[in-house]
Amino acid sequence: MNKSKSLGVIVPFFNEEKFLNESIERLLKLDIIDQVILVDDCSTDTSYSIAAEICKNNDKVSITKTTANEGKGNAVKLGLGLITTSHVIIHDADLEYFPEDIPEMYENVSLEKNNLILGSRTIGSKERTSLYFYTYFGNKILTAIFSILNNYRVSDIASCYWMVNVQSLNEIGISEKGFAIEVEVLSKFIKNNIPIIEVPIRYEGRSYEDGKKIKLKDGIKIFLKILKYSKLNLLN
């Protein structure tokens, strides 16, 4: 494990040509970021060529590509194998989340204390917009169920912004290939008695016309994964 604190970013993406360039530019403005791994999940637009061009102009950034479009979890696992920093944050390329919130999350990272830093869209008073009521309401319900079944209060289980120790993440392992990676990681950290520290973050939900990918069926899948990974092991 690295003896000094350092931060890497895994950016999984699929067909994000509209947002990718700005997303990486804003990440690279942060001095605390030491490494950026771009993972293309078999995009069918120009995303890969945009990412490759970014890599040519910055030594901190590298790119890899999945062999099949299997989902976010699979892309994160691939990127994790290339990370060389002590800690990592997952950053979706669509800019629903603000890279500018990363430094505040990083302030809570310590080499002496192992924890998971969760960016929460429901605590504090930072600016947030959500275009779809059912996604907001659904997250509230799923978060409540998750907290009850795990006997651990969390405010936002669907947040895609989480920062962890790389070694700890490798040790607990990731098996989920899709969006349920968040539920899996949070559940496993709780089971291993690793504290979750929540930090308020901003959020700007995008429309399906702009490429939003999570749909109602994904909410149902996440509910089933909550049951699977809960302390009660209800589906095992």
Give residue limits of the domains in the chain: 7-229
**pLDDT computed for residue 112 by the predictor:** 77
d(CA 12, CA 179): 11
d(CA 154, CA 193): 14
Amino acid at 38: L
H/E run at residue 8: strand 7-13
pLDDT(20) > 90: yes
pLDDT(41) > 70: yes
Residue 140 CB contacts under 8 Å (≥ 6 apart), including other chains: 122
pLDDT average, residue stretch 64-83: 95
* pLDDT tens readout for residues 77-129: 999 999 999 999 999 999 999 999 999 999 999 877 889 999 999 998 888 88
Amino acid at 73: G
Beta-ladder partners of 199? 119
pLDDT(188) > 70: yes
Rg (CA), the chain: 17
7-229 carries CATH number 3.90.550.10? yes
